Each structure stands twice: as structure tokens, then as C-alpha cells.
Amino acid sequence: MPYFVINGEPHCPNYAHALVVAQYLSEKLPNFIYKKVEMNGLEWAEYVHDLNKQNRWYIARGPIVWKEINMWGGKKYLIGGLSEFWEYVYCYYGLESIIPRADLQKLASDNLKFYEEHHQHSAQRQKEKDVRNITIYGPGSFENNFLLSELVDVPNLSKSRGVHFKLFNQHCAHSEKHRELLEDNAEYINELRKFGAHDIATIAKDERDAIEDCDVFIYLENCTKQSDEDEDTWLDRCYKKMLQLADTINRVAKRTLLIILANPGPTCFMATCLVDTCTKIKLSNIVAVSAHKGLPYVRLVSEKTGVPACKMSAPPVWGFVGLHCFVDSRNIVFKADMLRPYERALRAPPGSTLALGTIKSELRKISYMLTTEEDELAREVENRKTTIEMRLERPTMIGNIRALVSLIRLWFAPKRSDEIICLGVCSDHSFQIPAGVVFSQPVMLDEKGKWTPYSKFPLMSDDTRKHIEESIEVSNRVLDKFNIFKAKEEDTLQYKLYDYSVEQGG
């Protein structure tokens, strides 16, 4: 079966005439298949020159028609220009086509207009591909301003044409509240425009607009437990939010969408709901920020030990963050300066100006310097947090945003880092955590840009293991209550039973 290729310039009447005939034949004859190749100006001249050189043809004017036998991309059999194409069509199909010159000019004009619109649309789509689209879902103007000021400074986050932020708050998505959100952020957006494209930040009109064409989706909506809610009501509210979000993601999101939950509330539970219901995106692209839970401990431990916070690492954070987690403050690593004495240090007289040794730095655990019990540290951190939130009259978000920006810096770094951080990721049964549950644990970035549990991380004490087991029990209880993963387990069981019956001849 031949495949026809019709080449020409979009403004050429003869080319437009050939397309009309080819379209008519393709509609009437099931085995007549064609495609068009159109170029304008200098591109067309260069294309014809290369075509003649490759195939040893001597044709200069369009349209140019050839056929390829059995498959696209096969050997080209030249039919010729418009006259040769009419002769071929008449001989094989008995078709004659006569169109007045005025109608041909109108066809050519319409074809040129369509070509220009299509060309502009393709250029716009290519431009959009060269821009990193980031949606920030849920926060107020203060968090937006603080987060945007941090993100615009992240290296390699922008693509060749920059970065575009979409701001969306579901409670302000309509009428007057939407205009208020726009006005609250307008001044800061104008400041950002001085450093990038004119449309570096916009307000999304609805949830679909917020997710469509998005590359990075940052969820910051406040999902803390209300004073008049019990745990079941609270979790049910969060569960329904994630079902609604997952439905929109499954309909319009890119396959490569990255979802980062850094909001106040049961983040690991909400991320697990997305893992269970999102069928379109990679499950490894759904993460829950948890490192911020350890940041208050660094400051408190620094006060109690005298070790500067800049010399300390963040403590490991384990658990089903938002419902139950454990900050292992005794496993904080710090850089200690140690004196390595020379032999003369033993017999040097008082006041000697000679060097008595060298100072070497080494990494140590903070546990031998920390006398406060872990429960007491946790209570003190919680009391400080409660005091701050009472003064602010809202959940504090500074720690969440700091941890979020640090995560994005590592994720989009040009060179993969070997840094170990704590993050809520879909478990692979490391540390005996059930597979599929989003659980805060030490992770590393692999060669494919995927956050994976770092199974070699040492569990230093039985007390740490005990707290991890408690978090696992909490996650199992909550997930069982909402039947999360149950349907998948039943489908897997039915599949196994079916395979067994086939093997047995059932």
C-alpha cells in the first residue's frame, strides 16, 4: 500500500489544490493515506535543495509529491509536481479536479492562516516546555512571600526560559476572596517580576488550572486538627481532601509531576492517601517533608550542651509524621575539635610558647554530652511551639518552608548529592516499615533522581526501635480504618488464586 507525501509552501494555491484532492481521496478510499509537509520562506528553499541532493532529483517548484511503499520512511518514488500528480490521480482513480482561480486563492489564504496559527501554538508549547511550572497550594500571603523569596534563589530550579509560579488557595478561589488573595500578593509579585519574566507568578483560578502543566506541586494548606474535632472526623476531612486532589491529578497532571506535602497536619497520612489513589504519576514522586520536626531540637540541644548549632547535624526523624513521630535527638552528630598532643606537652615548662599539639576535627554523637531525658526535651520543644503559635494565632510555617527549600535544592542540584536527609517517602520495607506507607525515615537520592530509604542507616538503640514500632502501629491502625491498600491486597490475592487454579488445571 502506498503512502503519499505532499510538500509545499502554505501560501501556494497549487499546494492547497493538491491537499484538497488528497483529502477527498483519503475520505473516499480507505487505502489512500497521505501526510503533508509545509515550510515557508528560506526553510522551504533549503529543504528542496537537500531533497534534490539526497534523491538526485531536479525539481524546484512546489508542490512536490512522492509515494513510499508499505511504510512511512521507505524508499521515495517521485510522482512530480502538480501536473504529474493530476495525471497520476486521473490514471489510477479517474478523478478530475477543476477549481476557479479565485477559490484557489481563498484556499491558499486559509491554509496560510492555519499554518501560522499552528506554528504559533507549537512555538508557545515549546516555550512552556522551557519553563519550570511550580504550584504553591494553600498558604496565605505571608507564607507565599517568604517561600517565593527563597525559591527564586534556588540554583537550577529555572529552565532555559525561567520559572513560573502559580498560587492557589481553595478557600479563595471564587469571587471577592479571589480578588483579595490577588491584591495581597500583587505587591510582592511585582517585585519578583523585576528578576524574571513578566508572568513569573500568577493566581490559579481553580484546582484544575493549578495542576495542569505543573512540574512541581507544593501543598501547604493548613490541615491541623480543629478544637471541635475528634481524631476520626479530622482524618476523614483530610482523607476527602486528598481524594478530591487525586481525582484532579489523575485527570490533568503530567506523569512526571513532583508532589511535596509540607503542610501543617497529618502529612504522612495524606501522602499515603495520594499514593493509594493517584494512578497517573510515579509514586516515588510523592514525598512528605519531615526534617522540620528536628530543627527545634538542634537549637535546644545547642543551648544545653554549648555546641554551636552550625556544627551540628539535624537529628533523625522517624514516624508517621502528623500523627506520631520520634526525633532521635541523642543521635545528633556534631563536629568536635580535639587536641592531639605532642610528646613535649608532658614536659614543657609553664608559659612555653612552643606548639604543644595539633587540633583535629572529628564527628561525634551528642549523646555523651546530653544529660536531659528525651521525653523532657520533647515536652520543652512542644511548649515553645505552642507559645509561638498562640502569639501568631496560626501554625508556624518557617521550619516547614526551610526544610522544603533545602529539599528542593538537593532534588534539583546539577550533581547528585550523597547527603542523607529525613523525608516521608513510600517505604520499601526498610527498617521493617510496611511497604507502600509514606513514613519519615533517612533517605538518599539515587542516580534516577528518586528518594529511596537508606537501609544502611544504623539504629543505635532499642529505644529508637521501640518508637519506630509505635509509629508503625499507629499507621496500621489509621490505614485499616480507611481501608487504604485493602482493595489492592484483595486484587493481588484474587490474581494469585487465579494463577494457582490455572496451574492446577482448574
Domains of the chain: 2-125 (3.40.30.10), 131-288 (3.40.50.720), 292-486 (3.90.110.10)
- Most confidently modeled range among 27-31, 131-135, 340-344: 131-135
- In this predicted structure, the answer to whether residue 83 has a pLDDT above a threshold of 90 is no
Give the whole-angstrom CA distance, residue 107 versus residue 407: 56
- In this predicted structure, the answer to whether residue 188 has a pLDDT above a threshold of 70 is no
**pLDDT band for position 198 (50/70/90)?**
very low
Give the whole-angstrom CA distance, residue 283 versus residue 255: 10
Give the whole-angstrom CA distance, residue 40 versus residue 17: 17
Q: Are the C-beta atoms of residues 34 and 26 closer than 8 Å to each other? A: yes
The pLDDT tens digits for 88-124 are 888 878 777 777 767 667 776 777 776 666 666 554 5
Q: Does residue 138 sit in helix, strand or coil?
A: coil
Give the whole-angstrom CA distance, residue 411 versus residue 318: 21
- In this predicted structure, the answer to whether residue 192 has a pLDDT above a threshold of 70 is no
**What mean pLDDT is reported for the chain?**
80
**pLDDT band for position 503 (50/70/90)?**
very low
The residue that leads in pLDDT, 94 or 181, is 94
- In this predicted structure, the answer to whether residue 141 has a pLDDT above a threshold of 70 is no
Percent of the chain with pLDDT over 70: 83
Between the two ends of the chain, the Cα-to-Cα distance in Å is 46
- In this predicted structure, the answer to whether residue 13 has a pLDDT above a threshold of 50 is yes
| Angle at 134 (CA atoms; ends 129, 136), nearest 5 degrees | 160
Q: Write the burial class of residue 333 (CB in 10 Å: 0-12 exposed, 13-18 middle, 19+ buried).
A: middle
Give the whole-angstrom CA distance, residue 166 versus residue 92: 57
Helix axes 398-411, 141-151, angle to 10 degrees: 30
* Cell numbers at 425, concatenated: 517517602
The pLDDT tens digits for 219-231 are 999 898 888 889 9
Segment among 28-37, 131-140, 493-502 with least mean pLDDT: 493-502
pLDDT of residue 479: 93
- In this predicted structure, the answer to whether residue 190 has a pLDDT above a threshold of 60 is no
Give the whole-angstrom CA distance, residue 221 versus residue 191: 24
pLDDT of residue 498: 36
The residue that leads in pLDDT, 90 or 412, is 412
Q: What is the mean pLDDT of residues 334-360?
A: 79
Cell 481553595 -> residue: 170
430: number of Cβ within 10 Å:
18
Residue of 419, 418, 450, 417 lying closest to 155 (CA atoms) = 417
- In this predicted structure, the answer to whether residue 405 has a pLDDT above a threshold of 50 is yes
Give the whole-angstrom CA distance, residue 273 versus residue 451: 18
Peptide bond just before 63 cis, omega within 30 deg: yes
Percent of the chain with pLDDT over 90: 22
* Cell numbers at 388, concatenated: 509561638
